[in-house]
Amino acid sequence: MRILGVDCGSVTTGYGVIETGSPRHRLIVAGVFKTNPRDAFPERLLAIATGLRAIVAEHRPDEAAVEETFYSPNSSSSSSLRLTHVRGAVLLVLAEAGLQVGEYPPARVKLAVTGKGRAEKVEVQSMVRMLLNLSEPIASFDASDAVAVAMCHAAMRTMAIHTAEVSR
């Protein structure tokens, strides 16, 4: 099974595709869509959507997962609103592709990958490297976060399957 993970951002949106089906995962691709903050926001959304459509077409994931929006008292309402718009564009592309989508809060993603819900980005990046047995860490925090979202989805899927089997 292939799972696409997405870490939304209005300037940089990370993506990662893993293959899973055993206790181990295998990285297929990870990267980022970078937009120019000087461009009109609709153009930036279009660039993210176009890039994501290309990833879906090339790597044909079976399911997808997206990190939920994290609201912080320190973040501005305009940046939270922009992030929500990016998530909307991402969710639209995933729905167009007919993908089942899991949505997870950042703390759940961090907990699933590192064992700590308040892990720092460098800890997530390090654990993603270790769990995927990569020779080097994924270069971008946004891309490694996206891979972590996909890994969290795989773990939640496995847990749901096992729970359903036990309740039978």
pTM of the predicted model as reported, rounded to 2 decimal places: 0.92
Condensed to tens digits (0 to 9), the pLDDT of residues 9-38 reads 999 999 999 999 867 899 999 999 999 999
For the chain, the domains span 2-167
| Closest by CA position to 88, among listed 6, 31, 157 | 6
Give dist(CA 121, CA 62) in Å, integer: 27
125 pLDDT more than 80: yes
Active-site residue, 7 included? yes
What percentage of the chain has pLDDT greater than the value 90?
A: 83
146 pLDDT more than 50: yes
The active-site residue, picked from 19, 58, 62, 67, is: 67
122 pLDDT more than 60: yes
116 pLDDT more than 70: yes
Give residue 162's pLDDT: 43
The active-site residue, picked from 7, 19, 63, 145, is: 7
Instruction: Give the alpha-carbon dihedral of 85, 54, 7, 127, to 10 degrees.
Output: 180
- Average pLDDT, stretch 100-123? 97
159 pLDDT more than 70: no
Give residue 166's pLDDT: 45
Average pLDDT of the chain is 92
Write out the CATH class of domain 2-167. alpha beta
Give residue 149's pLDDT: 98
As given in the structure block, the two tokens for residue 43 are 């153009």
Active-site residue, 39 included? no
Condensed to tens digits (0 to 9), the pLDDT of residues 51-84 reads 999 999 999 999 999 999 865 666 667 788 899 9
Instruction: Tell me the torsion sign for CA atoms 37, 70, 131, 93.
Output: negative
Active-site residue, 142 included? yes
- Classify 135 as helix, strand or coil: coil
